Structure 1
Amino acid sequence: MSAKWRNGLMLLAVVLLVVLPLLFVQGEFGGADDAAEGAISELAPSYEPWFKPLTELPGETESMLFALQAAIGAGIIGYTVGLLRGRQDKQKLHDQKN
């Protein structure tokens, strides 16, 4: 299988992983914090949190910070994979010359 076909299939898989859940999963997407808060309020309605947040961020700001964190992580992983792949290719080229 050529690299062109393999790349095309991987791109299709990524697109399907993004689109299919949006089509088939109904309802609102909530975070783990909301689910935990709901579970705690069901199990112990009189529970008082130990700490209060220093500041309340609007939902858009929270989402933006989460997306920024994900983008930075993806950038670091992509850079590392590219660096390691480049070193591997350089080593193969060096080995072929000798």
Structure 2
Amino acid sequence: MNQSSKNIWIITAVILLAVLPLLLVQGDFGGADGAAEQMIGELAPGYKPWFAPLMEPPAETESMLFALQAAAGAGFIGYAIGFLRGKAAKSKAQ
């Protein structure tokens, strides 16, 4: 198995890991936003929000997007650290 086919299999697995839970898992995924909204309603019943969201995705989609954002950030940080370490190792070898 060559390197490009391994990469394709890895990318396919990552995509499946992101998409399959959205299709197969059904449930209510409440988060901090819902808890905060409930607490505000209890503390200040007359509170009116300043604006309304343009779009409210289902809770599981919102959770997936948050996890994707965290994974992208971690990937970027890992890449930057690896790049800098590789650059340092290369300059030491010269």
TM-score range with shorter-chain normalisation? 0.5 to 0.7
- State the structure with more CA Rg: 1
Aligned residues: 66
Amino acid at match of 2:77: I
Question: Cα RMSD (Å) of the superposition?
Answer: 1.8
Which gives a bigger RCO, structure 1 or 2 (Cα 8 Å, sep 6+)? 2
Q: What is the correspondence of 1:38-49 to structure 2 with a 5 Å cutoff?
A: 38-49=38-49
Q: Distance in 2 between matches of 1:44 and 1:68?
A: 34
Amino acid in the other structure paired with 1:85: R
Normalized against structure 1, the TM-score is what? 0.58
Correspondence 1:32-71 to 2 at 5 A: 32-71=32-71
Whichever residue aligns with residue 73 of structure 2, its letter is G
Structure 2's unaligned 5+ residue stretches are: 1-28
- In 1, Cα distance between equivalents of 2:64 and 2:30: 15
Instruction: Provide the residue aligned with 2:80 in structure 1.
Output: 80
User: Structure 1 vs Structure 2: percent identity of aligned residues?
Assistant: 68
Structure 1 residue runs of 5 or longer lacking an equivalent are: 1-28
Q: Output the TM-score relative to the length of structure 2.
A: 0.60
